[in-house]
């Protein structure tokens, strides 16, 4: 029986908040994109990661409805988990490109590029209250990252993420890729409070690289039960 690790990514300092992530460390046990997509849909997390080669850091990322070439919070969660399992990596290899990862104190970091973030759009709102008042999800199509300055001078932001892709995820609790896109557009370091209580750090680096950092905590380990293709 293959195990599924569940971690929470972008938690606050007290360990609360964060977005749940499913990680199948034995990716070979779930071969093929169709079967992996079915598992991700069955689990219902915003994203699920399959680790295909621990030594090389080869990973494959899925939402309940699509495969992703790159995503932020799944890579941070997977990097932290592999380290916790005694198999730390310095690079995670995705379809979009190689993603350097490292730890700084209680934060796990990744480095990527805003152009790797596909299909997401940011929209500034006039106030934190306006972001908080948005329905879940707002009307319209396409992945929306709604944000407002909480304190522009300090670089703090309130944000919410709405996939609006027709699957079971109406709102993402925390989204590293969208934070990467926003930091790239703003051209500055920011600290983001997203969802009900998640915290994301973003730093703009040289050469168009952007660093995303967050805390991760372990939730549980459970057997991965899979339905066959004929089951609902």
Please state whether beta strands 120-124 and 143-151 pair in parallel, antiparallel, or not at all (unpaired): parallel
Instruction: With a cut of 70, say whether residue 99 has pLDDT above it.
Output: yes
Taking the whole predicted model, whether its pTM rises above 0.75 is answered as yes
pLDDT value, residue 44: 96
How far apart are the C-alpha atoms of 147 and 101, rounded to whole Å? 26
Q: Which CATH architecture has domain 116-212?
A: Roll (3.10)
- Reduce the DSSP state of residue 230 to 3 states and report it: coil
Q: Residue 67 — very low, low, confident or very high, per pLDDT cuts 50/70/90?
A: very high
Instruction: With a cut of 60, say whether residue 193 has pLDDT above it.
Output: yes
pLDDT value, residue 226: 74
Mean pLDDT across the stretch 219-228? 85
Cis? peptide before 137, omega within 30° of 0: yes
pLDDT value, residue 225: 83
- Reduce the DSSP state of residue 87 to 3 states and report it: coil
Q: What's the mean pLDDT when you consider all of the chain?
A: 95
How far apart are the C-alpha atoms of 16 and 39, rounded to whole Å? 26
pLDDT value, residue 228: 56
Instruction: With a cut of 60, say whether residue 71 has pLDDT above it.
Output: yes
Write out the two tokens for 47.
């994203």
Mean pLDDT across the stretch 204-225? 96
25-55 tens-digit pLDDT: 999 999 999 999 999 999 999 999 999 999 9
pLDDT value, residue 232: 38
* Cα distances (Å, whole numbers) of residue 5 to 53, 181, 220, 222: 16, 28, 6, 7
pLDDT value, residue 1: 78
**Buried b / exposed e across 209-223, counting CB within 10 Å, b at 16+?**
ebbbbbbbeeeeeee
Q: Which helix or strand (DSSP H or E) is residue 20 part of?
A: strand 17-24
CA-angle at 103, arms to 206 and 151, nearest 5°: 60
Assigned fold of 3-110+215-223? Diaminopimelate Epimerase; Chain A, domain 1 (3.10.310)
Does 3-110+215-223 match 116-212 in CATH topology? Answer: yes
pLDDT value, residue 231: 41
Percent of the chain beyond pLDDT 90? 95
Indicate the domain borders of the chain. Answer: 3-110+215-223, 116-212
Lowest mean pLDDT among 43-47, 164-168, 181-185, 215-219: 164-168
Q: Residue 208 — very low, low, confident or very high, per pLDDT cuts 50/70/90?
A: very high
How far apart are the C-alpha atoms of 203 and 176, rounded to whole Å? 12
Instruction: With a cut of 70, say whether residue 89 has pLDDT above it.
Output: yes
């Amino acid at each position: 029986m293959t195990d599924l690790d569940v971690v929470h990514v972008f938690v606050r300092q007290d360990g609360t908040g964060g977005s749940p992530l499913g990680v199948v460390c034995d990716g070979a046990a779930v071969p093929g994109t169709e079967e992996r997509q079915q598992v991700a849909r069955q689990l219902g997390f915003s994203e699920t990661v399959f680790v295909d080669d621990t030594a090389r850091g080869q990973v494959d990322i899925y939402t309940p409805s699509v495969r992703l070439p790159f995503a932020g919070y799944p890579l941070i969660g997977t990097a932290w988990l592999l380290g916790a399992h005694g198999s730390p990596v310095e690079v995670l290899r995705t379809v979009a490109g190689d993603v350097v990862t490292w730890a700084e104190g209680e934060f796990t970091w990744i480095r990527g590029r805003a152009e790797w973030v596909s299909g997401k759009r940011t929209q500034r709102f006039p106030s934190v209250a306006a972001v908080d008042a948005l329905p879940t999800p707002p009307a319209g199509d396409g992945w929306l990252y709604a944000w407002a300055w909480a304190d522009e001078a300090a670089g703090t932001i309130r944000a919410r993420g709405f996939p609006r892709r027709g699957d079971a995820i109406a709102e993402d609790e925390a989204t590293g890729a969208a934070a990467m896109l926003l930091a790239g557009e703003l051209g500055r370091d920011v600290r983001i409070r997203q969802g009900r209580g998640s915290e994301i750090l973003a730093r703009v680096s040289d050469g168009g690289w952007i660093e995303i950092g967050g805390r991760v905590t372990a939730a549980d380990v459970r057997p991965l039960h899979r339905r066959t293709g004929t089951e609902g």
